[in-house]
Amino acid sequence: MQDVTEKLGYRLKRAASALRTAMDDALRAHDLTVPQYSTLELLDQQPGLSNAELARGTFVTRQSMNVVLRGLQEHGLVHRPAVSDHGRALPTHLTEEGLRRLALARDAVYAIDDRIAGAVPEERRAALLADLDAMVAELGR
């Protein structure tokens, strides 16, 4: 019987868990969770995303995204209209405070990304990224 810790999926999950823990620790200083930070990043890149679009982009359910957005609204980091101009989707936008908090948190998260990138020799990084993308494609995501 093969040792499960030698399986690729186990190693990927272990790396993802280590990344999540490091991000949780870094974001705590900015009073943000990983889903909140991810939401702010997406909204900075694509203002006006709906709840469903944000949920897909941050790997949480729509119900969980409702909770995330409510928390961000209560802290004045995002703005959502009370009603939609078109259909049911409520477009979400960052506030000035949301942009400020994102900039501070981004520095901490990008420093973590630099640390993990530094663990892979530069000449192997492009191949690693391609391999990770191929794994996602193989699983149909």
Q: Which fold has domain 4-138?
A: Arc Repressor Mutant, subunit A (1.10.10)
pLDDT digits (tens, 9 = 90+) for 4-51: 998 999 999 999 999 999 999 999 999 999 999 999 999 999 999 989
User: Which pTM was predicted?
Assistant: 0.88
Q: Where are the domains of the chain?
A: 4-138
* CB atoms closer than 10 angstroms to residue 7: 11
- Residue 128: band (very low, low, confident or very high) from pLDDT cuts 50, 70, 90: very high
- Residue 88: band (very low, low, confident or very high) from pLDDT cuts 50, 70, 90: low
What are the tokens at 30? 């900015």
Task: Measure the CA–CA gap between 24 and 20, rounded to whole angstroms.
Answer: 6
